[in-house]
Structure 1
Amino acid sequence: MSDAQILVDAHHHVWNLDVRPQPWLDEPGHEPLRRNFSSHALRSAATRPIAGRRLTSTVVVQCITSVPETRDLLALADSDPLVGAVVGWADLASPAIGDVLDDLRTGSAGRYLRAVRHIVQGESDPHWLGRPDVERGLRAVGERGLGYDLLIRSHQFPQAIRLAERLPGLPLVLDHAGKPPIARQDLADWERGVRRLAAHPQVRCKVSGLVTEADHEKWTVDDIRPVWEVLLAAFGPDRLMFGSDWPVCVLAGGWNRWAATVEELLAGCSAAETEAVLAGTASTFYRLDPTRSKEGTPCC
């Protein structure tokens, strides 16, 4: 399969509620998500191509603060060729963080651990990412050649920026573009934070999770476009990567509607820029093997 056919979904989730509960789904409005979602369900959902590309590889991302969940995700990657990388979780503040990461990376499944993430958006401490114990843990992540997914909201940009300043060698990717408050149509503070963070060359950004920050029922591509234009100007296409945030995106239209929106946003981009956003940036950051997914055959 040529590079022009590759499409990477750099951010999705799976869960089996019979095996591992997801307490966050108890929040009001999450009723459509209170069922099991597997990688096979993703195959069924992701039927629309983007710029002629059909889904060929994905990055599955942790949902809960659980090492056992991370082991489940690694086993999935080891068994399902669609899943090319795992963003897992480990307690960054633990003195044993290095040992935990080393243990997760053992065995055939361990090679798919390419980054870790913590639910920083849920931390009340405005300096959580700068705590000495957390910074020690993040240094352990970087020393093992792993990246770090930043899950923050607009008011948490200052601590993310300080992290990028203190650890310039740690590869960072901003999940969901820092969750811009699209529904409120008040992007000024978010834009300032994005531009300051993007000034650090080790930072990438996922074009994902935007529709659930907009009005779930009424959003249009025109609501998303101002965010896209800021991201494109701040990061450039070579540091942006497409992600669906499936199945969370089901709350606001689903995988195929988001795919159609991304295709429309990319309309003014060159072939090389489109390649970067839809495949190249994610493949490089997460060190994906382009030959692995179904022996190079699109999944759907």
Structure 2
Amino acid sequence: MDDRRRFLHGMAALAAAGTRAGRRVDAADSGPLAEDDGAMPLIDTHVHLWDLHRLRLPWIEPGSPLDRDHLPEDYATAAQGLGVARAVYMEVDIDPARHVAEAEYVIDLCRRRVGPLVAAVVGGRPADEGFPAYLDRFRDRPEVKGVRQVLHGPATPPGTCTAPEFVRGIRLLGERGLSFDLCMRPGELRDAARLVDACPGTSFILDHCGNPSVQAADLSAWREDLSRIAERPNLACKVSGIVASAAPGWRAEDLTPVVDHVLVRFGPDRVVFGGDWPVCTRAATLRQWVEALRAIVDGRGEAERRALFHDNALRVYRLEV
């Protein structure tokens, strides 16, 4: 399918996606969802896309469910009925030699308004000597809002983000008006706090609530470290990713302790929603994750819910109103 046909297919699916689907909060429930015309719009700040004819992802296991193309029209189908108004692309941890190709691919999608994509967080290596020149490529690319390097892989031992050369690169992001997404092992949140403290001029987003497992018997260490890092005013937290660690047959209440702790510690103004599609499909459809989170926060006020699902993302990722 060529790019134009992909675009038209994706837009057709999105045309039907302007209203919120009715509740389904259990992973085992696969019944149809009723539409709700009163839904508030949603900004998805964590969408992965990959075309394996363009880019190869070394972390994907051959033959696994993720080992296929995941394109804009596929996301449009997954998001249908959820009220997704805008979306932010999140880099997919490819070989650094292909970072420029990845960035150019997604910038093109954003510029052509393929589906709801309006902005991107691109891959990068802040500690590399060539990082400033790499950022120079995006000086006139307003679609690029920030950079991420996944910090939980085998090539990134504990302490990677506190190295002087890494800190230098992150400070440069702040000077360029770009943010950094933190994606790391939950046991290294104190390293993240040191990095944030060393870079007060840079804005940070902590992905996936700091990556706790919702199946963990004891979340006390994560709770303590999350509470400490939340004290940093230049850090927001992304409520995303946690459903991927849920057990088969999970329910919304399995996710509630993590979500509630994040919302309390970061407050209503420093949290954003992220779908983490298609990685979330290891345990849930995008719809199941969204509806579970909606159920968890249903008792909170409309302004707080709107901030989580929409308004905060405008500020955190500097999206056009």
Name the TM-score, length of structure 1 as normaliser.
0.88
Residue 170 of structure 2 aligns with which residue?
138
Structure 1 residue runs of 5 or longer lacking an equivalent are: 291-300
Aligned to 2:239: 207
1:296 aligns with: none
Q: Secondary structure at the match of 1:115?
A: strand
In structure 2, what is the Cα distance between the partners aligned to 1:249 and 1:86?
19
Residue 12 (str. 1) matches residue 47 (str. 2): yes
Contact kept in structure 1, 2:171 and 2:201, CA below 8 Å: no
- Post-superposition offset of 1:124: 4.0
State the alpha-carbon separation in 1 of the partners of residues 137 and 218 from structure 2.
44
Residue type matched to 1:231 in 2? V
**Aligned twin of 2:85:** 56
Post-superposition offset of 1:158: 1.3
RMSD: 1.6
The residue matched to 1:31 in structure 2 has which SS?
coil
Equivalent residues in 2 for 1:279-290, closer than 5 Å = 279-290=310-321
Matched, 1:234 2:265: yes
Residues paired across the two proteins, number: 278
Name the structure 2 match of 1:45. Answer: 78
2:6 maps to which residue? none
Alpha-carbon distance, 1:23 to partner: 1.3
Q: Which amino acid aligns with 1:161?
A: A
Identify the residue that residue 110 of structure 2 maps to in structure 1. Answer: 77
Q: Note if 1:179 corresponds to 2:211.
A: yes
Identity over aligned pairs, percent: 33
Are the aligned partners of 1:48 and 1:259 in contact in 2 as well (CA < 8 Å)? Answer: no
Counterpart of 2:128 in structure 1 is: 94
1:56 is paired with a residue whose SS is strand
Aligned partner of residue 237 in structure 1, secondary structure: coil
- Relative contact order (C-alpha < 8 Å, sep 6+): which is higher? 1
Per-residue CA distance 1:132-190 (angstroms, 9 max, x = gap): 11111111111000000000111111110101111122100000111112122321111
Deviation at 1:37, TM superposition (A): 0.7
State the distance in 1 between where 2:184 and 2:117 align: 24
Match of 2:31 in 1: none
Is residue 244–residue 284 contact of structure 2 (8 Å, CA) maintained in 1? no
What is the aligned partner in structure 2 of residue 170 from structure 1?
202
- Please give the TM-score of this superposition, normalised by the length of structure 2: 0.83
Alignment of 1:25 with 2:60, yes or no, is yes
2-side partners of 1:48 and 1:278: how far apart? 15
Q: Return the structure number with greater helix share.
A: 1
In the alignment, residue 191 of structure 1 is paired with which amino acid?
R
Q: Which residue of 1 aligns with 2:308?
A: 277
Q: Which runs of 5+ in 2 are unaligned?
A: 1-17, 19-38
Shift of 1:242: 0.8
CA distance in 2, matches of 1:126, 1:161: 13
Q: Secondary structure at the match of 1:212?
A: helix
The answer on whether the counterparts of 2:175 and 2:201 sit within 8 Å (CA) in structure 1 is no
Distance apart, 1:281 and its partner CA: 1.1
Q: Deviations over 1:96-143 (max 9, x none)?
A: 21221011333xxx2100010001111443211111111111111110
